[in-house]
Chains A and B, each alone.
Chain A
Amino acid sequence: MWLQVRLSEVCLFLQAMFTLACCFSDMESGPIATSGSVQPNGDRFKIEGRAIVPGVKTQDWISSARVTVEGEEYIGFLRTDGSFVVNDVPSGSYVVEVISPGYKFEAVRVDITSKGKMRARLVNFIKTSEVIRQPYPLQLRSSGPHTYFMKRETWGWTDFLMNPMVMMMVLPLLIIVLLPKVVNTNDPEMRKEMEQSMNMLNPNPELPDVSEFMTKLFSGSKSSSSKAVGGSKYQNITCTQGPPRSFFIRLYNSFLSRGFPSSEIQVCK
C-alpha cells in the first residue's frame, strides 16, 4: 500500500517534471517577448529561405520580386536561383513575405530568439500566439499568378441554351418537330389513330389561314372565350381512357387544336 502511494507520487513527480521540461523546451523555441527596443549592440541574425514559382524560370520573375520583413523594416533580394537571405535582423518576431507583382506567396512568421534560434510558423493575425510550424529555412512555394482581373461575360452556346427564355421557346418546338417522328412507327393501330387525329385536325376544308387567325386573335375578345373553350377541351381529352402510349398523341393533337379554336374536335367519342 505504501509502495503504491509512493509509486503514484513518483509518477506524479515525473509527470510534473516532464511537463516542466516540455515548458522549458517550448520556451526555448517559442517566440521571445517582442520588446521593440532593440539594443544597439544586440546580435544580428539572418533569415534564410527560398522562393519557388513552379513552372516558371527564375529569371522571369526575380527581377521584380523582393523579400520584405515586417513591412519594409528589412528588405532582402532574391538570388538568381530563387533563394534569399535577409541580413542584419535583430531577434524578434517578424512577418516575412515575398512580394512579386506576378505571383502569389503566402506570408510566414519567423521568430528569432535572442540566442539566434529560428522558427517559422503560419501567420495568424488574430491569435498571434498560435503555432503551426513551417519548415526553416523557409520554403515559399508560389500558389500561382495573382488574379487581378474579372472575367468578361463571353457569349457561349451553353449560356445561350440554358437561358430560361430560350428553353421556353425551344422545348415546345422540339415537341412539335420530334414527337411525330417518335410516334411514326409502322404500328397499324398507331397509324390508324394518327389518321383519325389528322382527320380530326383537318375536318374543315375551309380552315382559315394563319394570317387571318392572327388578326382575329389580336382584334377581338373572341379569342379569350375561344381559349377557354380550348381549355375545357383539354379536360375532355384527358378523361378518355385510351392506351397510355396514345396519350401523348392526344396531347399533341390537343395542343394543335388549341391553335384553331374555330374547329370542333371531339376526341372522346
Chain B
Amino acid sequence: MYKSTSLFVIFLSLFVVSEAVFEDQVGKFDWRQQYVGKTLFAHFDSHSQTSKKLFLATDKNIFASFNSRTGDLFWRHVDKAGPEGAIDILLLHGQDALMVVGDGRLLRSWDTNMGGLNWEAVLDTGSFQAACFVAIQDTVKHLAVLKNAAISLHYLTNGHQKWVENLPDRDTVQYQAVYSGGEEEIYVLGVVPNSHLTIIAYSLEDGEIIKQRSVEAPWLSSVESSCVVVGQGMLMCVDPGTLALYTLPIQSLDLEVSPGFQPVLVSSQPHPARSPISEFFLQLGPHHHVLLQLNGDGYTIAPLRDFQPAFLVSFATTGEKTVAAVMTPKNETVSVQKVNNSCFFFFFKNMSQSYLKSKCMCSYSVLLSDVFPPQLYVHAFLKKDDSVGYRVLVQTQDHALTFIQQPGTHTDTGTYTQTLERTHRHWNVHTDTGTYTQTLERTHRHWNVHTDTGTYTQTLERTHRHWNACKPKNTIPTVKHGGGSIMLWGCFAAGGTGLFGIDSKSGSILWKHYLENVQPNAVFKLIVQRTTAHFPHPPQCTLLIKDKDTGLASLHVFNPIFGRKSHIALPVLPRPILQSLLLPVIDQDYAKVLLLVDDQYKVTAFPSTKNVLQQLQEMASSIFFYLVRSDQGNLSGFRLRKDLSTERIWEVVLPTDVQKIVAVNGKRPNEHVHSQGRVMGDRSVLYKYLNPNLLAVVTESTDTHPERAFVGMFLVDGVTGRIIHEAVQRKARGPVHFVHSENWVVVSSSCCKATVVVVVEATVVVVVEATVVVVVEATVVVVVEATHHIYLYRNSKYFFLKVGLPSGAILSLPKMFLDPRRPEVVTEHSREENLIPYAPEMPIRTEWFINYNQTVLRVKGIYTAPSGLESTCLVVAYGLDIYQTRVYPSKQFDVLKDDYDYVLISSVLFALFFATMISKRLAQVKLLNRAWR
C-alpha cells in the first residue's frame, strides 16, 4: 500500500512539474477578455463628482461595475443563467443599487462601493411589472414594487416589507406602471386594453387606497409603451390610432407620424422626491424626434424644437440643470444651444463621422452607411460644478459600448475638443459547440467525413504537412499567420452576424465584418479550405450559415488573414442542407473540397471544377458519411456514388421511447496516431483499435427519474454500421460531455450526487485472418467538482484533457489518470507500464489550473490547436469570457527556458576565453625561462 501511494505521489509530482504555470509567466503568453453581455440598464455613479464608476445590468444576468474612464471592469456578479437570474430592473440610489431579479423573485441591494450585497429579500410570487423609489420630504426611504397582482413597499435599509396590498380587479385590469412624485401617495396605473385606464392612489403609510379613478380610454392598449408622467403629475399618453397626444390632437401641432410607427414618449424624473420635468420628447418616426413642453396651465403643449434626423434622445439632470441629449447623424460639428435657464441642448451631430474616423473603425461606418443605423442608448451625465460636462454611453447594435466625454468648460463653442473613447465588445457567441449540439437535437443533422482507410491515411499525411493549425470542427480554427496566428470567431449580434479575426497573441481584433441577412437562429460552421502554405494562392475560409428552421444554407468565402471577401463563384443551394463534409481532396488551386448533402441526399461539391469532379468520381466508392435523426433515433450511413448521388448502406435505430441521441462524435480527421500500441509489463504489445471511421454515440434516457435514468454510449463503425461496443451508466443524467480520440472515449455525466467520468478504451486482442476481436475496457472515475466540459488537446507525446469547471477554472488533466487499466493492486507488470493504482476519486489540484485566477465563467467550449513549435499548444476557452494561453504539456523542450541566464553563460564564456589567453601567455614565459636555464 505504501509503495502504491508513493508511486502515486511520484506521478503527481511529475505532472505537477509538467503542467503548472510559473508566477513570472503571468500574462506573458495568455490573455483574457471579460465580457458582460448586452446592456439592459446603465447608470453613472452620481454619488460623488469624481466617481468613475458605471453600473450595468445585462441580458446575461450580470451586474457589473466599470471604470468609466478606461472601461476596465471593477467587479461583476454573475447570476444564474436563464430566466431565474434575469435582471428586471436596476435602480441606483446613492451608493446602493437596487435590483429585482428573476421576474420578481428576489430583491437585492448592492453596496456599489465594495461590490458586495447589502441584503437580499424574497418577494411574493407574481410577475414583475414595475418598480420605483418612493420619497418623503426629499429623502428616499422606500422602494415600491408592482407585480401583476400586488404592490409592496420595501425599506431601502434592510429590504423588509412595509406593507403589501392586493390590487383590485386584477383579473381584468393589467397594472403596468407605478409612480410617486414625492407626495404621500403612490399611484398605480392599470389599463383594461381598449376600454379604460385605472388610477389607484395608495397611502404611503399603511397601503390604504385613498383614491381610485377610472378614465375612459378606448384607444389605449398599454400604459408602459405609450404613457409617461410629465410635469406636475400629468399623465401624457400617445394614441397611435388617431395620432392624438393625450387629449390634444397631434395634428394641431403640425406634426406627422411616419406611417406604421408607434409614437414613443420620453420623459425624465430627476429625483423621486420631485415631479418630472415638464419637457419631454415625442418620437414620431424611426429618426424623428420632437421636443415638447407642457405649459404651466397643464393643458397646452408647446413644441420647442424638431429634430430630424435624430437617432436617439435622452435626458440628464444635475442639480437644477437638465440636459437633453440628441444624437443626430448630420455632417456638422457638435453644437450646444441654450434654451432657457434650466435646459441645455447638446447634440451629437456628425456622430457617424468624427467619432468613427478618429478610430478608423470601418465597420461602424459600414454599419451606418448600410441598411440600418445602430440602435443606440444614450446616458448623459453632468458634472457638479457650474459648467456642464457630458459623459455619454452609446450602445451600438453589436452590443459594444462607447464612452464619450466632453469637458464642460466650452459648452458654447461646442467644438468637439476631446473624445475619450473606449469600446467594449460584448459578444453573444452563438456559434459554438454547445449550440451546435442543440442544433443537432432539433434539426437532426450533423456532418462528418468518412473515407475509407486507404485514402484516409494517405491524405492524412498530406494534410498534416500543409495544415499546421487548422481544423474545421469547431468554429474557431486558427490559421498560421507570420509569428502569431489568427483566430476566427463567428459571432452573433442583435441585428446581424459578425465575423471577427482575432490576433491570438494579444487578443486584439484585426478585422471584422458584419454579415447581412442572417437570421437570428442561424447556425454556423467555419471551414478552412486552404491555409497560408500555398503561396501565391491566398488562404481561404468558408463560413457555412444555415437557417435553423428552414435548413437553407449559404456560403461566405473570405480570406482569413485580411478578412476580405473572396470573389469565387459560389454554388447555388436551393435545398436544405443536412450535412457538410470537408474532404482531404484538393483541387488544382490547393483548396480542399467541401461536400454539402441536401435533404434529397444529393451532393454538391464546392469548389466544383472538372478536376475535382473527376477526383470525386474516382474515389466516390470510398467516401462515406452519416446522418443523425435524433427525433426518430435514427443513425444511418451513406456512400457516395459516381454521379454524386448517395446510397444508404446501413441504419441503426435506437428506440426513442427509451433513449434519445444526444451527441455523435467521430474522430478528428487530422488526428495523428503516434503509437499503434503499448508495451505491456510482460513484453507483449497491446494494439490499439484505431478505426478512423468509428463513431461514438451518446444517448440519454427519456426517463428522468434519478433511479431509472441512464446515459448510454455506443461505438458504431461508420462504414459497416456494426455496433462494436455499448455501455450504460446507470443512475446518470446529463449534461453529457465527451471526447473521442485514438482508441478511447471519455464520457462525463452527473451521477449519484457527483460527476462521473467513464473511460472506454478499445484494443485489438486477436487478429485472425481479418477477424478483429475488439476488447473494450472501461473504468469509472469520480471527479470531485462538477465538470462542465471535457475537451482534449494533445501534443506529440502526452494526452491531456481540458476540463472547464463551474468555478471558472480550466483544468489540465493528464490522460494517465483516466487509464482504464489502472490496477487496484500494484504488480510488477503494472509498475513497468507506468500505471497509477486505481483510486475512485479524482484529485483536482489548483496547480493544474492553466488559467490560474483568470477564471472563465460559463465555459461553452475549449478549443486547442497545435502550434508551429512541437512542444506548444494553443488553448482558447470561451464562454462568457475569452481566455487564450499556450501550454507546454511536456515542458518547452524546443525552446530556451524563460529564466535562462544569458549573463551567467556569457560571462563564463568570456572568463574562459581570457583564462586561455592568459595561461597561454604564462606558458610562453615559462618555456622561455626553461630555455634560458
- Nearest residue (CB) in B for A74 is B80
Question: Which of A76-84, A157-165, A193-201, A252-260 has 4 or more CB atoms under 8 Å from chain B?
Answer: A76-84
**A74→B102 CA distance, assembly (Å):** 12
Interchain CB contact under 8 A, A77 and B81: no
Mask, A45-72, CB within 8 Å of B = 1, is 0100000000000110011101010111
Interchain CB contact under 8 A, A79 and B106: no
For A149, give its contact among B23, B105, B118, B926 (CB under 8 Å).
Answer: B23
Interchain CB contact under 8 A, B21 and A150: yes
Given contacts A34-B706, A75-B85, contact A62 B114 (CB under 8 A): yes
Interchain CB contact under 8 A, B79 and A75: yes
Interchain CB contact under 8 A, A150 and B122: no
**A59→B74 CA distance, assembly (Å):** 12
- Nearest residue (CB) in B for A81 is B116
Interface residue count on the A side (C-beta < 8 Å): 46
Q: Is A29 an interface residue (CB 8 A)?
A: no
Interchain CB contact under 8 A, A87 and B106: yes
Interchain CB contact under 8 A, B117 and A80: yes
- In B732-786, the 8 Å CB interface with A consists of 752-754, 782, 784, 786
**A150→B848 CA distance, assembly (Å):** 10
Determine the chain B residues whose CB is within 8 A of the CB of A78 once the complex forms: 116-117
> Could you tell me the distance in whole angstroms from the C-beta of B492 to the nearest C-beta in chain A?
23
Q: Is B78 an interface residue (CB 8 A)?
A: yes
For A80, give its contact among B105, B111, B784, B853 (CB under 8 Å).
Answer: B111
Interchain CB contact under 8 A, B853 and A102: yes
- In B48-88, the 8 Å CB interface with A consists of 74-75, 77-81, 85
For B21, give its contact among A44, A128, A148, A211 (CB under 8 Å).
Answer: A148
Interchain CB contact under 8 A, B116 and A63: yes
For A36, give its contact among B16, B77, B81, B704 (CB under 8 Å).
Answer: B704
> Could you tell me the distance in whole angstroms from the C-beta of A122 to the nearest C-beta in chain B?
13
- In A69-105, the 8 Å CB interface with B consists of 70-80, 84-85, 87-88, 93, 95, 97, 99, 101-102, 104
Interchain CB contact under 8 A, A77 and B77: yes
**A35→B926 CA distance, assembly (Å):** 96
Interchain CB contact under 8 A, A75 and B80: yes
Q: Is A171 an interface residue (CB 8 A)?
A: no
Determine the chain B residues whose CB is within 8 A of the CB of A150 once the complex forms: 16-17, 20-23, 847
Q: Is A221 an interface residue (CB 8 A)?
A: no
Q: Is A146 an interface residue (CB 8 A)?
A: yes
Q: Is B590 an interface residue (CB 8 A)?
A: no
Given contacts A62-B114, A93-B753, contact A101 B855 (CB under 8 A): yes
Q: Is B841 an interface residue (CB 8 A)?
A: yes
**A104→B807 CA distance, assembly (Å):** 12
- Nearest residue (CB) in B for A93 is B753
Given contacts A68-B806, A101-B808, contact A126 B106 (CB under 8 A): no
For A146, give its contact among B16, B78, B853 (CB under 8 Å).
Answer: B853
Q: Is A125 an interface residue (CB 8 A)?
A: yes
For B846, give its contact among A79, A88, A147, A152 (CB under 8 Å).
Answer: A147
> Could you tell me the distance in whole angstroms from the C-beta of B230 to the nearest C-beta in chain A?
38
Taking each of A34, A78, A125, A147, which has the highest tally of chain B beta carbons within 10 Å of its own beta carbon? A125
Given contacts A95-B753, A148-B853, contact A125 B784 (CB under 8 A): yes
Interchain CB contact under 8 A, B847 and A63: no
Interchain CB contact under 8 A, A79 and B754: no
Q: Is A39 an interface residue (CB 8 A)?
A: no
Mask, A142-176, CB within 8 Å of B = 1, is 00001111111000000000000000000000000
- Nearest residue (CB) in B for A146 is B846
Interchain CB contact under 8 A, A88 and B114: no
Interchain CB contact under 8 A, A36 and B706: yes
Given contacts A80-B118, A211-B926, contact A88 B853 (CB under 8 A): no
Determine the chain B residues whose CB is within 8 A of the CB of A147 once the complex forms: 846-847
Q: Is A37 an interface residue (CB 8 A)?
A: yes
Interchain CB contact under 8 A, A80 and B116: yes
Determine the chain A residues whose CB is within 8 A of the CB of B503 once the complex forms: none
> Could you tell me the distance in whole angstroms from the C-beta of A162 to the nearest C-beta in chain B?
19
- Nearest residue (CB) in B for A31 is B753
Interchain CB contact under 8 A, B706 and A79: no
> Could you tell me the distance in whole angstroms from the C-beta of B867 to the nearest C-beta in chain A?
22
Interchain CB contact under 8 A, A72 and B114: no
Taking each of A72, A101, A102, which has the highest tally of chain B beta carbons within 10 Å of its own beta carbon? A72
Determine the chain A residues whose CB is within 8 A of the CB of B111 once the complex forms: 80
Interchain CB contact under 8 A, A211 and B853: no
Mask, B825-849, CB within 8 Å of A = 1, is 0000000000000001100001101
Q: Is B304 an interface residue (CB 8 A)?
A: no
Mask, B806-827, CB within 8 Å of A = 1, is 1110000000000000000000
Determine the chain B residues whose CB is within 8 A of the CB of A104 once the complex forms: 846
Given contacts A88-B105, A148-B846, contact A128 B752 (CB under 8 A): yes
- In B698-754, the 8 Å CB interface with A consists of 704-706, 752-754
Determine the chain B residues whose CB is within 8 A of the CB of A99 once the complex forms: 806-808
Interchain CB contact under 8 A, B852 and A149: yes
Interchain CB contact under 8 A, A79 and B117: yes
- Nearest residue (CB) in A for B850 is A148
Mask, A200-229, CB within 8 Å of B = 1, is 000000000001000000000000000000
Determine the chain A residues whose CB is within 8 A of the CB of B452 once the complex forms: none
Interchain CB contact under 8 A, B21 and A77: no
Determine the chain B residues whose CB is within 8 A of the CB of A146 once the complex forms: 846, 852-853
Q: Is B923 an interface residue (CB 8 A)?
A: yes
> Could you tell me the distance in whole angstroms from the C-beta of A264 to the nearest C-beta in chain B?
25
**A171→B706 CA distance, assembly (Å):** 70
- Nearest residue (CB) in B for A102 is B853
For B852, give its contact among A34, A62, A66, A148 (CB under 8 Å).
Answer: A148
- Nearest residue (CB) in B for A73 is B80
Determine the chain A residues whose CB is within 8 A of the CB of B682 once the complex forms: none
Q: Is B120 an interface residue (CB 8 A)?
A: yes
**A78→B79 CA distance, assembly (Å):** 12
Q: Is B115 an interface residue (CB 8 A)?
A: yes
Determine the chain A residues whose CB is within 8 A of the CB of B16 once the complex forms: 150
For B78, give its contact among A66, A149, A211 (CB under 8 Å).
Answer: A66
> Could you tell me the distance in whole angstroms from the C-beta of B693 to the nearest C-beta in chain A?
36
**A29→B793 CA distance, assembly (Å):** 46
**A104→B849 CA distance, assembly (Å):** 14
Determine the chain B residues whose CB is within 8 A of the CB of A79 once the complex forms: 116-119
> Could you tell me the distance in whole angstroms from the C-beta of A93 to the nearest C-beta in chain B?
7
Q: Is B899 an interface residue (CB 8 A)?
A: yes
**A126→B854 CA distance, assembly (Å):** 30
- In B1-50, the 8 Å CB interface with A consists of 16-17, 20-24
Determine the chain A residues whose CB is within 8 A of the CB of B81 once the complex forms: 72
Interchain CB contact under 8 A, B806 and A126: no
Given contacts A35-B706, A36-B705, contact A85 B754 (CB under 8 A): no
Determine the chain B residues whose CB is within 8 A of the CB of A88 once the complex forms: 105-106, 122
> Could you tell me the distance in whole angstroms from the C-beta of A124 to the nearest C-beta in chain B?
9
- In B77-127, the 8 Å CB interface with A consists of 77-81, 85, 105-106, 108, 111, 114-120, 122
> Could you tell me the distance in whole angstroms from the C-beta of B19 to the nearest C-beta in chain A?
9
**A73→B899 CA distance, assembly (Å):** 44
- Nearest residue (CB) in B for A46 is B122
Determine the chain B residues whose CB is within 8 A of the CB of A84 once the complex forms: 117
For B923, give its contact among A35, A125, A211 (CB under 8 Å).
Answer: A211
For A62, give its contact among B74, B115, B899 (CB under 8 Å).
Answer: B115
- In A20-49, the 8 Å CB interface with B consists of 34-37, 44, 46
In addition to A63-B75, A78-B117, A80-B114, 9 A-B residue pairs with Cβ atoms within 8 Å of each other are A37-B704, A59-B115, A76-B120, A77-B117, A93-B753, A125-B753, A125-B841, A148-B853, A152-B899
**30 A-B pairs (CB sep. < 8 Å):** A34-B753, A36-B704, A58-B114, A58-B116, A59-B114, A59-B116, A63-B114, A68-B807, A75-B78, A77-B77, A78-B116, A79-B116, A79-B118, A80-B111, A80-B114, A80-B117, A80-B118, A85-B120, A93-B753, A95-B753, A101-B853, A101-B854, A101-B855, A126-B841, A148-B21, A148-B846, A148-B852, A149-B23, A149-B847, A149-B852
Those 5 A-B pairs whose CB atoms lie nearest each other, nearest first: A63-B115, A63-B75, A148-B852, A101-B853, A80-B116
